[in-house]
Structure 1
């Protein structure tokens, strides 16, 4: 968002600090220690009408396939689910500041649950459809490190073409939901028509159940972001082993 708000360049500032929220704070969250993350830009800013709608699902001021209108809505949903709060301040010509408050963890960190060793090894082929490069890189490394063959695509139409042209089998499609142009469910439907035996695992940060049901249907196999690489590998293994839901009907 900051990049699009500063087409001619500008300054993007990131800050993180620990703060204590009192019981009389206007944020509407429980008093106690929080981590405050602040992202501010010197872009064009928003008028009041745009600012009021900025965190609504599917609201966007971008044209064509440049945005889905879900970025801030996803941030808001994840933060609220975590017991935090989001503040958005903006004015035309004065830039935008998004402030996120997340409750600090109490006690000592615990080790993550070990992944079943059977989930670490695979030889099958996985087609990954993900447009966010950092996320795509994590997925590719996790799967290749577990022995899988991996085909990568960043757009739905490219994933469909890979499914059509690849000589060997493709056992699982791992797909983001909201993508520029052809979205994940649409690409999955076309790929499933080309390869009826393929399993489908969606990955999404949409914690709002209404959004998820509307986009995917009730029975879709879904892994929510954020996830650990080991969780992804385990879910892919489950899909390959015929876990119910992995080959569910697509809308």
Structure 2
């Protein structure tokens, strides 16, 4: 259980580091795809005693947002929720919907104006919070007495991000029973989209792809997604196994997709070995905001495409066709 929490915290640390490396990039953003990608990451790292329940509304509006920071907000909230259930397990709920904020609600919460908003709620059935803790969780100098427990992980950062997006964050909690943290973000006028980009037509193909990620769940998800687009997919969770397979029959594979952070041999190291065997092999490197690897460094190695996680289906499908066509 603790190992899973540490892995989730590592994911948060990567995102926080990424957030400090660049200025905000505010643009029309669909929150649904970010929610779904974060949940995929969490499912790969959470213990079986923590169940994830999601309720994602199909058609919601765009918000003017920095997608990396929204990713950070959700990962922080979900990680805290999971940590609150370390001892006994429980249910982690994530809900996304669109609501209309009326004048009365806005009068009670001066941070937001009346009108359409996205409502993102993250809840847990864990230890809950005492009133004095609840009042201080957004204080940047406040931590809970016990390390690695429940509240306090990046919530000051979350609060700052939500405010910079002209949003509101509210906390509901009952000691020993539950905690729900709800974020409201203003919807852009005239912007209504399908929650995920999954309904958009994605580029398809029939080539053979070698897919490598040390998380079995992510390999399975990636394989299913690419097979639905028409590709033949061979998945591996070990860089060494993938290298051995490629060395045996390099002409079999038209393209390689690899994660960056993997044990024993990282994605960039694997790419170098593959290119020694078959120069010019199209390689897509997927990275979770790594300090070690940049797009410039990837190009110097010979990696043809560089995608930041969360990687959405249409982005990946487009990158594949750009390299193969």
Q: Which runs of 5+ in 1 are unaligned?
A: 54-59, 63-68, 207-211, 242-251
- Name the CA shift for 1:73/1:160 in 2 (closer, same or farther; >3 Å): farther
Q: Which residue of 1 aligns with 2:319?
A: 235
The alignment partner of 1:143 has SS state of: helix
Aligned residue number for residue 39 of structure 1: 122
The residue that corresponds to 1:248 in the other structure is none
Once the two structures are TM-superposed, the CA of residue 123 in structure 1 deviates from its matched residue by: 1.6
Counterpart Cα distance in 2 of 1:79 and 1:141: 34
Alignment gaps of 5+ in structure 2? 1-78, 141-146, 299-305
* 1:95-145 CA-partner distances (Å, limit 9, x unpaired): 543323244463565897655xxx422323222426383x54443233223
Q: TM-score, normalising length from structure 2?
A: 0.47
Q: Verify: 1:168 aligned to 2:240, yes or no.
A: no
Query: What does residue range 1-251 of structure 1 map to in structure 2 within 5 Å?
Result: 1=79, 2-6=81-85, 7-15=87-95, 18-20=99-101, 26=109, 28-29=111-112, 31-44=114-127, 61=148, 84=167, 86-87=169-170, 95-104=178-187, 106=190, 109=193, 114-115=201-202, 119-129=203-213, 131=215, 133=217, 136-154=219-237, 158-166=238-246, 167-169=248-250, 170-177=253-260, 182=263, 187-196=266-275, 197=279, 198-203=281-286, 212=289, 214-219=291-296, 220=298, 221-225=306-310, 227=312, 229-241=313-325
Give yes or no for contact 2:211–2:223 (8 Å, CA) kept in 1: no
Provide the aligned length of Structure 1 versus Structure 2: 210
Shift, 1:235, TM fit? 0.8
Structure 2: how far apart are the matches of 1:81 and 1:151?
Answer: 43
Q: Deviations over 1:158-189 (max 9, x none)?
A: 13332224432244332445x5x639xx6212
Q: Cα–Cα, structure 1 residues 233 and 76, in superposed 2: closer, same or farther, change >3 Å?
A: farther
1:191 Cα deviation from its structure 2 partner: 0.9
TM-score (structure 1 length as normaliser): 0.57
